[in-house]
Amino acid sequence: MSRFTTFGNDLYTGARSIDFVGRRTLWYSIAGVLIVLTVLITVLRGGFNPGIEFRGGSEFRVSSVAEAAADPAAATAQGEEVVAELVDGSSPRVSIVGGDSVRIQTEQLTAEETLQVQAALAESFDVAPDAVSASFIGATWGADITRQALIALVVFLTLASLVLAVYFRTWKMSVAALIALAHDLVLTAGIYGVFGFEITPAAVIGFLTILGYSLYDTVVVFDKVRENTSEDGVESRRTFAQSVNLAVNQTLVRSINTSIIATLPVAAILMIGALLLGAGTLFDIALALFVGTIVGTYSSIFIAAPLYVHLRQNEPEVQKQGARTQRVLNDSGAVR
């Protein structure tokens, strides 16, 4: 721990420095490759896997199934077989939830088909008829959720960009922060597309939540950037890029610690949701939060700050500061 503390102190004082800004092309390349891969794999897999809340359909849940805990694969196959025999052309999605419950999702069925499937499932799994619940969700409800989520996203991004522009007094910080947010959203959603996880309302809530976390981490970095760059006077020995890079180094340990503290409880929730309760609301929201927290920390350090330097590097004042800093260094060397 003492070594890590010493390392953090060295980063803060400038005794050690990691060149985040100077290697920005590398970080952009890594981010670009990851985005292209996730998008390409998602497209090749046939797109995202929307939950029943978005696509609409009928859902059956069989409770207290002994086979579900003993042999999940057999229970899943059994559920698929029952529905396929009763409903021609159906492609049921069967999963084990809560350890001993079987969830079957199909396209929307008629009332008569629903009763037939309920009775067949109760007989096949040897449970009481009231242990099989049935529900259906219309596609219009899913469309309403999608529309509301998009509205929430647009409102959030608009307000966030305005607040950043006013607080930091430059629109270029807003642009850098928004690009970092887009990076986080694409990669987090891409994980769902790559591995075929269902996108449910809980997952959407997770997507929106990680945007707030990522923005918070970026603001912490940018606040230190503003502090460092405002201190640069005519005698400064740092260029604008070096001041930004110092700010990233000074907030690095804080960002890592915050990320670890945030991901540990989320990881615990994710494990509980996946292993003990099965895929469900806890798993859906925890997965989005877990991936988004890690990606958000990466973007704040490796994307947002270097991109801010990239956006300002051609400004006359920034170029003058670089030339002035070089003269100061040259004069200092001549004095020696």
Give Cβ neighbours of residue 119 (< 8 Å, ≥ 6 apart).
129
Has residue 90 got a pLDDT over 80? no
Task: Please give the pLDDT value at position 2.
Answer: 62
Buried/exposed code over 229-239 (b: 16+ C-beta within 10 A; e: otherwise): beebeeebebb
- For 114, the token pair is 């629903």
Task: Please give the pLDDT value at position 130.
Answer: 86
Sign of CA dihedral 144, 148, 154, 155: positive
Task: Please give the pLDDT value at position 41.
Answer: 94
User: Would you state the torsion angle of the CA atoms of residues 53, 55, 60, 65, taken in this order, to the nearest 10 degrees?
Assistant: -80
Give the lowest-confidence range in 84-93, 101-110, 197-206. Answer: 84-93
Please state the rounded mean pLDDT for residues 239-246: 86
Task: Please give the pLDDT value at position 336.
Answer: 43
Has residue 180 got a pLDDT over 50? yes
- For 220, the token pair is 């912490």
Output the CA–CA distances (angstroms, integers) from residue 41 to 50, 196, 203, 214, in the order listed.
Answer: 16, 10, 20, 25
Has residue 120 got a pLDDT over 50? yes
Give the lowest-confidence range in 3-7, 144-148, 170-174, 309-313. Answer: 3-7
C-alpha count within 13 angstroms, C-beta hemisphere, residue 46: 4
End-to-end CA separation in angstroms for the chain: 39
Give the lowest-confidence range in 11-20, 114-123, 156-165, 308-317. Answer: 11-20
Please state the rounded mean pLDDT for residues 181-192: 90
d(CA 204, CA 239): 42
Task: Please give the pLDDT value at position 36.
Answer: 94
Confidence of residue 233 (pLDDT cuts 50, 70, 90): low
Task: Please give the pLDDT value at position 329.
Answer: 58
Confidence of residue 335 (pLDDT cuts 50, 70, 90): very low
Confidence of residue 53 (pLDDT cuts 50, 70, 90): confident
The overall longest dimension of the chain from CA atoms, in Å, is 94
Express as a percent the part of the chain with pLDDT over 90: 13
